[in-house]
Amino acid sequence: MPDSRAIQAAAKRVLAVEAAAVAALSEHIGADFERAVALVLACQGRVVVTGMGKSGLIARKIAATLSSTGSPAVFLHPAEALHGDLGMLVRGDVVIALSQSGETLELVNLLAPIQRLGIPTIALTGAPQSLLARTAEAHLDVSVPEEACPLGLAPTASTTAALAMGDALALAVAEQRGFSSRDFADLHPGGVLGKRLKPVEELMHTGDALPAVAPACAFADVVYEMSRKGFGMACVVEEGKLAGVISDGDLRRLFQAQGAKAVELAAREYMTRQPATIAPDLLAPAALHVMEARKITALPVVDGDGRLLGLVHLHDLWTTEMI
């Protein structure tokens, strides 16, 4: 029978070794890392990420992370490169080469053609004195004291460290670019993530669907507009700009305070001034955050001049699968 204690102990040891390997990378962040960031930022072409074996699998992930955070990147198989795929490389590109030993033959054989094209190289290796590390414009040290494999053979902690360093590079570059959540949304239009990152302007109700009344609107007309549009609130609009809002709760509180006299009041006399609003280019999660913080179910959408553009309701956010 399997030894449950041994199984759990093995798993915990692997996680501890790999966590320690990643934590130790902080000591390797310095001038070379800054040079690597500068090279990617200055890249006029694409970032070409390459590696053999397990390093190649990590290279594919790094290329994907770079691409999804604003730095166009592709994976180049080094063996295929030596048999025709070198045509993928052009001046203006930047190469990121991964090799734990720094001496992987297929990568070493790529150095001469890369240098002939004048393409700068960023090396991720566990051997700072290796040929790949010494010839690169920037070397990111991903050496680890031990592998998590009990035999010390299977790439485990070393590949985790390389992946983490790749993430650090990609996200440091993204931060320097000013890469925003809206930029991220533009690159992820599909699936659940794309739905969740929709801008408010794609979800809001506009035109005749908007519950809107004038500041001088009579009580009965306010109630009629709120009932007809079905959002549980009305926007008070003056010369196209949002002057305030009136909710179902505002009406209940008004009746409690004024009794029958409430029906004699104009909208401006009991509306909520300076209500919560949101800009059209903000994303759906931002609208949900405001609604939850203010305990409201509908949010007017206004431009920089305070003009009413639309209204987003909590029900609209259900389509984004956030709630």
Q: What is the pLDDT of residues 190-218, one digit of tens each?
A: 665 666 778 899 889 999 999 999 999 99
Q: What confidence category does residue 34 fall into, taking pLDDT thresholds of 50, 70 and 90?
A: very high
Per-residue pLDDT of 111-125, as tens digits, reads: 999 999 999 999 999
Q: Average pLDDT, whole number, for the chain?
A: 92
Please give the share of the chain, as a percent, with pLDDT higher than 90: 75
pLDDT at 319 over 70: no
146 vs 283: CA distance, rounded Å? 44
**pLDDT tier for residue 152 given thresholds of 50, 70 and 90:** confident
- pLDDT of residue 323 exceeding 60: no
Number of domains in the chain: 2
- Indicate whether 66 and 213 sit together in one domain: no
pLDDT in tens, 219-269: 999 999 999 999 999 999 999 999 999 998 889 998 888 888 888 899 999
**Do the beta carbons of residue 278 and residue 290 sit within 8 Å?**
yes
Residue 160: what pLDDT?
Answer: 97
pLDDT on residue 222: 93
Whether residues 160 and 216 fall in one domain: no
Strand 94-99 and strand 73-76: pairing?
A: unpaired
pLDDT at 65 over 80: yes
C-beta of residue 144 within 8 angstroms of C-beta of residue 157? yes
Q: Residue 138: which pLDDT band, with cuts at 50, 70 and 90?
A: very high
pLDDT band at 86 (very low <50, low <70, confident <90, very high): confident
Q: Answer yes or no: do 34 and 147 share one domain.
A: yes
Main-chain phi, psi angles of 54, to 5 degrees: -65, -35
Q: Which domain holds residue 294?
A: 200-318
pLDDT attached to residue 114 = 93
Q: Do 70 and 175 belong together in one domain?
A: yes
Residue 204's CATH number: 3.10.580.10
pLDDT of amino acid 187: 72
Copy the structure tokens of residue 90.
Answer: 């052009």
Spatial CA neighbour of 231 closest among 311, 322, 319: 311
The answer to whether residue 31 is domain-embedded is yes
| End-of-domain residue from the set 116, 148, 179 | 179
Look at residues 14, 20, 18, 24 and name the one whose alpha carbon lies nearest to residue 150. Answer: 14
What letter represents residue 158's amino acid? S
The predicted structure's pLDDT at residue 193: 64
What pLDDT sits at residue 21? 96
Taking a C-beta distance cutoff of 8 angstroms, is the pair 175, 41 a contact?
no
pTM of the entire predicted model: 0.72
Residue 130's pLDDT is what? 96
Among 93-102, 146-155, 202-211, 245-254, top mean pLDDT goes to: 93-102
Pair 214, 172 in one domain: no
